[in-house]
Amino acid sequence: MSAEIKKIGVIGAGQMGNGIVHVCAAAGYEVGLHDISRERIESGLATINGNMARQVSKGLMTEEDREKALARISQAYELDQIADADLVIESASENEQTKRKIFSQICPILKPEAILATNTSSISITRLASSTDRPERFIGIHFMNPVPLMELVELVRGIATADETFETSRQVVSNLGKKIAVAEDFPGFMVNRILLPMINEAVYTLYEGVGTVESIDTAMRLGANHPMGPLQLADFIGLDTCLSIMQVLYEGLADTKYRPCPLLVKYVEAGWLGRKAQRGFYDYRGEEPVPTR
């Protein structure tokens, strides 16, 4: 028997968080969005508004549905404004300490039956769950970026996740119109365990001078039929996120094949994090993106 979820709290108003709020509100859930600053929440809401307007213009949503969805979203400037949520999804940056700190703040104010989920793309669900007061009501719900467009969600149970928690979460994800892939709780789960080493290998290919940014991306787009080249994709994901996932794989699986490329490390140290920083493997400051190598 799975519990009924009516209100969802989302912590983190960045690219992933605002996408999660978007799909939850569009599916009929009441959603509270929390972040550490008022500006971030408002910026997240502006993005949701713009993305929904784009869906209306493409005929994917009616104007009436957009207005109803936006009305279901509330701005939770304080954490206790989502204390009544039935499900809280944490979508902060890919850093274990940050996530643990959020759980230590939210757990004491959540109702005991509420489910706590993380949108982590690589960190151990079992380990994160053990830092909370509800390991059996804790689960990984990993959305893909950009959330409104991508059909897949990886559902990841920790060692303690109860069947009821799993079934309830599965029902919510189905209600969002997403397809589910169930992954075991190993570093990187499935998508990132396969995708990130490919991106890291593309960076090595660049680092070793085998090809330029442009030739590597063209090769994979036209030669492997990928919609986006791996370096372009890395810029889209964020090079800091790529690096942190590679570090999780490298440390968690203790295999040298997951060693992050030194060039990836150098770009992150330079603050060239991809699109969000206007520079990564491409420079986005002009009309068209220009390769930086």
pLDDT digits (tens, 9 = 90+) for 195-205: 999 999 999 99
C-alpha dist (Å) from residue 268 to 208, 226, 234, 244, 256: 18, 25, 12, 10, 20
The residue whose two tokens read 């979508």 is: 91
Residue 60, both tokens: 């994917």
Model-wide pTM > 0.85: yes
Which whole number is the average pLDDT over 237-246? 95
Q: How confident is the model at residue 187 (pLDDT cuts 50, 70, 90)?
A: very high
Residue 125 · residue 161 · CB < 8 Å: yes
CATH 3.40.50.720 domain position(s) in the chain: 7-183
Q: Taking 80 as the threshold, does the pLDDT of residue 2 lie above it?
A: no
Residues written for the chain: 293
Take residue 172 and report the two structure tokens written for it.
Answer: 């919510």
CATH topology of domain 7-183: Rossmann fold (3.40.50)
- What is the C-alpha to C-alpha distance for residues 172 and 178, in angstroms, rounded to an integer? 9
- Nearest-angstrom CA–CA distance, 128 and 48: 28
User: What six digits make up the tokens of 188?
Assistant: 């990187």
- Give the integer Cα–Cα distance in Å for 53 and 60: 10
Q: Percent of the chain beyond pLDDT 70?
A: 99
DSSP summary character for residue 73: E
3-state secondary structure of 283: strand
Mean pLDDT of 141-163: 97
Contact 33, 74 (CB under 8 A): yes
Is residue 36's pLDDT more than 90? yes
Band (3; pLDDT cuts 50, 70, 90): confident
Please state the rounded mean pLDDT for residues 133-138: 98
Element (H, E) at 181: strand 179-183
pLDDT band for position 191 (cuts 50, 70, 90): very high
What CATH architecture is 191-291? Orthogonal Bundle (1.10)
Catalytic residues: 121, 142, 154, 192
- Per the prediction, the chain carries an average pLDDT of 97
Half-sphere exposure of 12 (CA within 13 A, CB side): 22
pLDDT at 1 over 90: no
269 — pLDDT class (breaks 50, 70, 90): very high
Q: Of the ranges 2-6, 81-85, 91-95, 145-149, which one carries the lowest mean pLDDT score? A: 2-6
Asked if 26 and 51 touch (Cβ cutoff 8 Å), the reply is no
DSSP 107: G
- Mean local confidence (pLDDT), 91-114: 96
Domain with CATH 1.10.1040.50 in the chain: 191-291
